[in-house]
Amino acid sequence: RRLVAWLTLPHLSRTVRLGYANRFRGILFTSVQSDLDASVLRAEIAVLLAKDAIEPVPPAEMKLGFYSPYFIVPKNNGGLRPILDLRVLNRSLNKMPFKMLTPKRIISCIRHQDWFAAIDLEDAYFYVSILPRHRPFLRFAFEGQAYQYKVLPFGLALSPRIFTKLAESALAPDLVLQHLSLLGLQVNWEKSRLSPVQSISFLGMELDSVNMMARLTEERAQSVLDCPKFFRHNIAVPLKLFQRLLGHMAAAAARTPLGLLHMRPLQHWLHGRVPRWAWHRGTFRVGVNPECCHLFSPWSDLMFLRAGVPLGQVREHVIVNTDASSMGWGSVCNGQAASGSWTGPRLQWHINCLELLAVFLALRRFRRMLHGEHVLVRTDNMATVAYINHQGGLRSRRMLQLARHLLLWSLKWLKSLRAVHIPGELNRAVDAFSRQLTLPGEWRLHPQVVQLIWSRFGEAQIDLFACPESAHCQLFYSLTEAPLGTDALAHSWPRALINLLAQTLCKIREDEEQVLLVAPYWPTPTCPSLEDSPEEGPSFSGDGHHLVPTTPFRDQVVNLQALPSEEADPALGLLCPVRALRIYVDRTRSFRRSEQLFVCFGGQQKGNAVSKQRLAHWVVDAITLVYQCQGASLADICRAAGWATPNTFARFYNLRVEPVSSRVL
């Protein structure tokens, strides 16, 4: 009854009986601008019909389906090529990534004196058929007739991926030609080269396995040279011409020295003048100015285009580790270290710029060691890796300028330069230099040596020029935070251990101070102020001792066993220190106000650093709790605290020590 009621409604009876049919926008006929283009398109349709690549659409079905227009582009040999414009359809297709064979991959795989052969397939995409129910999405119309593709068309976004997958499977056997014949693939004998050679043209490049060089072919180089001729000063040209020029540059970049770097300025120039929506439309025009014409200069030089790049894969590198922070930079190469501090405007730079600058400074510092070598830079900054390996980028103009200086310098002094990312926790040695945890030139006397000095000359009261890591006195001056300040020359000194500087010696003479001088062995005195000293005290030792380690940085690492072996030490199996510290840090993160590990957990000092006395009380409370609640034996307590007898426990912790057995009884 309800169906009958629905069928009586106008305009809906067909939908109710047969179902709804998708309404496409209608037939989109391809229009051409000249009779020559029309004749070319007619010939193309005739060839496609003869190859059974397309089929006419029945008139009853012409109003259904998705239509795309054809357009005409010039060929390299001077002819015209029709192309089906599937850009609108491609936006609705899934993006499926794959690894396509690129000139960069080919260049890295070639070895010295390899032999080449080339096999070209005719109409390669036409060997893959389209599912019949999907063919209506590949329709076009011309001169009143509609057609649809039966095979994989050129212009479909997924066509390269599909054919690459099929070609990789077909080329697996050794007898390639025989296998291709069995698969029904026709070889284009005119474009193929079956006789083995050591110099061959492939994908617009010349491969020479004897000289191990890859360069652009003369035809491809000439096509790049012809593109800038369309750009003249004070003329607005279509954006399509810029896109075509960028396409030629990108195709030639892998075969020219720093090709991507030389196209970055033009990309930046367009990035600031072309709105984002205009890249998908063909009506936008861009005015050419002198700056734009100047950017074409590298691509107008035939010697640059034909210079070529070396073939083969680099197997040995000289590794340079770099890191940067807001304070400075550090680097290590072959056991040698280099570091520096930021000054002036660089203190306000973004960390990505500082990381890239740190690489440049490190390479220049190790230039003699790296000259003529393949260099691998290891850094924990992803932007630096990208700007080195991709020869610049569009995100930051300052980073592009830094990358340009770095790569041009590397082209002159290095064989090659490549960067890889390394996690920060694996780059701790360089990180310490970059954060200036140990300032350049900073060193520390061994505590035993200091005790020997103080036993003979008396204990010093203040360290004048020190840091928290090198100070031997509780009071000291330092460039970083210190109890007495940062400028030792601006204060009076009770007594001090000082560096041998002319300004310092002048202050010593003026204040008539007595100082303890610990200095390196200098055969030639360089401080006249020291020679003019009216009184000289006794020397400590005339023998020289090498106190500075040969290694520039020694990372002090303490390994805590996450799962200790109970057989080796049963006491360690009672508690995991790694897990306990992690839980403690997590629970105190919300109210922590100090970088010290242990902080107060209550009261007015909540979150502040805990004192040594308070920490000792915590230890006492923990030991007391264990003794009272768990009945720990005195032997276990003494062994945990390092005491030889229980007297210390009973005396200092005010506990009445009783054997566990007596309490149980």
Specify the 3-state DSSP secondary structure of 233. Answer: coil
Specify the 3-state DSSP secondary structure of 236. Answer: strand
**Higher pLDDT pick, 138 / 2:** 138
Kindly report, residue by residue over 6-31, the tens digit of the pLDDT: 555 554 455 556 554 545 555 666 66
**Is 350 inside a domain boundary?**
yes
Mean pLDDT of the chain: 73
Angle of helix 612-629 versus helix 634-641 axis, rounded to 10: 160
Q: What is the CATH number of the domain that holds 67?
A: 3.10.10.10
User: CA-based Rg of the chain, rounded to a whole angstrom?
Assistant: 39
Task: State the sign of the Cα–Cα–Cα–Cα dihedral 153, 155, 156, 157.
Answer: positive
d(CA 152, CA 53) in angstroms, rounded, equals 8
From edge to edge, which strands make up the β-sheet containing 54-56? Answer: 54-56, 145-149, 139-142
Task: State the DSSP H helix or E strand holding residue 72, giving kind and residue range, or none if neither.
Answer: strand 70-74
Contact 337, 330 (CB under 8 A): yes
pLDDT at residue number 419: 92
**Higher pLDDT pick, 516 / 363:** 363
**Is 618 inside a domain boundary?**
yes
Specify the 3-state DSSP secondary structure of 238. Answer: strand
Q: Where among 310, 335, 352 does a domain terminate? A: 310
Same domain, 391 and 336: yes
Same domain, 505 and 598: no
Alpha helix stretches (DSSP H) within 135-190: 159-170, 176-182
pLDDT at residue number 334: 83
What are the beta bridge partners of residue 160? none
pLDDT at residue number 586: 85
Same domain, 400 and 499: no
- Using a cut of 0.75, tell me whether the model's pTM lies above it: no
**Is 190 inside a domain boundary?**
no
Residue 404 sits in which domain range? 318-434
Same domain, 304 and 361: no
What are the beta bridge partners of residue 285? 238
DSSP state of 137: G
Same domain, 574 and 627: yes
From edge to edge, which strands make up the β-sheet containing 374-379? Answer: 336-341, 328-333, 318-324, 374-379, 416-421
**Is 409 inside a domain boundary?**
yes
- Residue 465, CA distances (Å) to 576, 617, 631 in order: 41, 35, 52
**Higher pLDDT pick, 565 / 328:** 328
Contact 89, 137 (CB under 8 A): yes
Going by C-alpha positions, the residue among 454, 453, 472 that lies closest to residue 462 is 472
Max distance between CA atoms of the chain, in angstroms, equals 125
Please compute the mean of the pLDDT values over residues 345-374 and round it to a whole number.
91
Please compute the mean of the pLDDT values over residues 114-134 and round it to a whole number.
78
- Residue 11, CA distances (Å) to 20, 21, 178 in order: 12, 13, 60
Both tokens assigned to 225? 């040279």
Same domain, 269 and 337: no
**Is 158 inside a domain boundary?**
yes
Q: Where among 294, 310, 326 does a domain terminate? A: 310
pLDDT at residue number 555: 44
Reported as a pLDDT band with limits 50, 70 and 90, residue 610 is: confident
Same domain, 393 and 477: no
Same domain, 417 and 461: no
Q: What is the CATH number of the domain that holds 413?
A: 3.30.420.10
Please compute the mean of the pLDDT values over residues 371-389 and round it to a whole number.
91
pLDDT at residue number 226: 80
Q: Where among 251, 282, 310 does a domain terminate? A: 310
How many structural domains are present in the chain?
5
Specify the 3-state DSSP secondary structure of 82. Answer: strand
Same domain, 303 and 337: no
**Is 203 inside a domain boundary?**
no
Same domain, 132 and 44: yes
Kindly report, residue by residue over 418-430, the tens digit of the pLDDT: 998 888 766 665 6
pLDDT at residue number 500: 44
Kindly report, residue by residue over 148-207, the tens digit of the pLDDT: 998 888 888 888 888 777 776 665 544 566 666 666 666 666 666 666 666 777 777 777
Kindly report, residue by residue over 196-232, the tens digit of the pLDDT: 666 777 777 777 777 777 888 888 888 888 887 778 7
Kindly report, residue by residue over 434-468, the tens digit of the pLDDT: 565 555 556 677 788 888 888 888 787 777 666 76
Same domain, 465 and 351: no
Kindly report, residue by residue over 545-571, the tens digit of the pLDDT: 554 444 444 444 445 444 444 444 444
Going by C-alpha positions, the residue among 245, 248, 252, 246 that lies closest to residue 215 is 252
Same domain, 152 and 224: no
In the chain, the percentage of residues whose pLDDT exceeds 70 is: 63
Residue 590 has pLDDT above 70, yes or no: yes
Residue 615 has pLDDT above 70, yes or no: yes
**Is 242 inside a domain boundary?**
yes
**Is 600 inside a domain boundary?**
yes
Residue 587 has pLDDT above 60, yes or no: yes
